[in-house]
Amino acid sequence: MWRAALMASALVVTSAVYAADEAKPASGLTLTSPDIAQGRKMAAAQIFSSFGCTGQNISPALNWSHAPEGTQSFALLVHDPDAPTGSGWWHWVVYNIPASVNSLPSGAGDPKAKLLPSGALQGRTDFGTYAYGGPCPPPGKLHHYHFRLYALKVPKLDVPADASAAFIAFNVHASALAEAQITATYSR
């Protein structure tokens, strides 16, 4: 009986140590915005301007700080897991943001505005464009828009120019040192 208890205790300790080894280190990376806020409804300025939505489709300004040591670039992924697709909806994908950059201005998601930092690229969203696409959910339930910034251990992601958002996200997660996020909401 005591052997079984001893072995069970050893298994619990071993599992806890293994789980601690697998967890990502704590990060001080922070993400803020003057345009969107945690748990708050997004303004008309950020809402899509088609499919029955009448927003201005302007990407929000974003600021970040406290990147971990070893950060060589950043990536931003904006996703709505509540979209009725079975896999959510990718609204904005920006990667290869230089490590020296700590913000994106309002409107940076519009390729015509040329506001992205040199070297940064926009990936293809579920709208089929290489640009910010704001919220425009079907009428009904509240949707959550996760703006996730990742500090990466690589200077750039080596992905094809026409890579899907999911493929880019896979590569972002494989190179992530830290993550910070703001989850804003919207419904109509």
107 located within any domain? yes
Going from the C-alpha of 8 to that of each of 5, 21, 22, 99, the distances in angstroms are 5, 20, 21, 46
Give the total number of structural domains in the chain: 1
Flag whether pLDDT at 112 surpasses 50. yes
Dist. CA 100–CA 170, nearest whole Å: 23
- First and final C-alpha spacing in the chain: 61
15 located within any domain? no
Q: Which tokens sit at 34? A: 């003057």
What pLDDT is recorded for position 14? 33
153 located within any domain? yes
Share of the chain above pLDDT 70, in %: 86
Dist. CA 90–CA 128, nearest whole Å: 10
21 located within any domain? no
105 located within any domain? yes
25: burial class by Cβ within 10 Å (0-12, 13-18, 19+)?
exposed
13 located within any domain? no
97: CB partners within 8 A, 6+ apart: 73, 74, 75, 76, 104, 116, 117, 119, 120
Q: Phi then psi for 2, rounded to 5 degrees?
A: -65, -30
Closest listed residue to residue 176, CA positions, set 145, 136, 149, 147: 149
Q: How confident is the model at residue 2 (pLDDT cuts 50, 70, 90)?
A: very low
State mean pLDDT over 140-152: 98
What pLDDT is recorded for position 82? 97
For residue 114, give its domain range.
Answer: 27-186
Q: Which tokens sit at 155? A: 């200077």
Distance of CA 123 to the CA centre of its chain: 12
The CATH number of residue 143's host domain is 3.90.280.10
What pLDDT is recorded for position 27? 64
